[in-house]
């Protein structure tokens, strides 16, 4: 199998972290591609009509895309435990929360990098950051016990999301108001899967 991914995409990092956690690195070639919303890589478009990464090219089936689909498929290959039935709705909601933080964070970068300076909209940036801060407040206030529990996909998604915010939006200093979440992230990022997938 081949995973088409970008070096700084938080969604691709999420899949790469799952690959390491499930010990699938020797079965999946991870191929770095360069693609943007305005200019999709032809190889990515050939695999995924939306031209998005990550995309997982399989030899015995259709290409899978969207990190949630890919991660669930990979977990199923090895009978993994990243989607525990005992708390599946909580886990899936936590994954969706992490993914939503990624969506908003990436959208802010696109606004800065894809639009000319005179067309950038501060209101859009503020709205996306408001979504991120509301999600982080919810994590701090309601999700710490789950984050501290057995490893699941929700934790991986949230860790990749928060790490991306620090990587791209670190000047906004989210940590001071959320000390439990900040401490949790520091500990979680010591995992080998997070160390090996850290963007340069």
Cα 85 vs. chain centroid, distance in angstroms? Answer: 22
The token duo for 142 is 């309601």
Q: What is the pLDDT of residues 83-125, one digit of tens each?
A: 999 999 999 999 999 999 999 999 999 898 888 888 889 999 9
pLDDT of residue 178: 98
What's the rounded Cα separation, in Å, for the pair 45 and 151?
33
58-81: pLDDT as tens digits: 999 999 999 999 999 999 999 999
Answer yes or no: is pLDDT of 16 > 90: yes
Give Cα separations from 147 to 41, 44, 140, 169, 172 (angstroms). Answer: 36, 33, 10, 22, 23
Tens of pLDDT, residues 117-171: 888 899 999 999 999 999 999 999 999 999 999 999 999 999 999 999 999 998 9
pLDDT tens, 164-199? 999 999 899 999 999 999 999 999 999 999 999 999
Per-residue confidence (pLDDT) for residue 99, from 0 to 100: 98
Cα 31 from Cα 86, distance rounded (Å):
35
Q: Give the Cα separation of 128 and 105 in Å (integer).
A: 7
Domains of the chain, first to last? 2-77 (3.40.30.10), 85-196 (1.20.1050.10)
**Rounded to two decimals, what is the model's pTM?**
0.95
């Amino acid at each position: 199998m081949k995973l088409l991914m970008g070096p700084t995409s938080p969604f691709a990092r999420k899949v790469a972290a799952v690959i390491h956690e499930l010990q699938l690195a020797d079965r999946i070639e991870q191929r770095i591609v360069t693609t943007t919303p305005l200019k999709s890589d032809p190889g990515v478009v050939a695999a995924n009509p939306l031209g998005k990464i990550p995309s997982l090219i399989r030899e015995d089936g259709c290409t899978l895309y969207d990190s949630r689909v890919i991660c669930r498929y990979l977990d199923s290959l090895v009978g993994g435990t990243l989607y525990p039935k005992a708390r599946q709705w909580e886990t899936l909601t936590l994954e969706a929360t992490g993914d939503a933080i990624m969506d908003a964070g990436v959208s802010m970068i696109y606004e800065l990098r894809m639009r000319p300076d005179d067309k950038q909209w501060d209101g859009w940036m503020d709205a996306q950051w408001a979504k991120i801060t509301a999600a982080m407040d919810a994590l701090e206030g309601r999700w710490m016990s789950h984050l501290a529990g057995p490893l699941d996909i929700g934790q991986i998604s949230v860790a990749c999301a928060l790490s991306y915010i620090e990587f791209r939006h670190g000047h906004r200093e989210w940590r001071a108001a959320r000390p439990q979440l900040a401490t949790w992230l520091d500990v979680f990022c010591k995992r080998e899967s997070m160390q090996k997938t850290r963007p340069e």
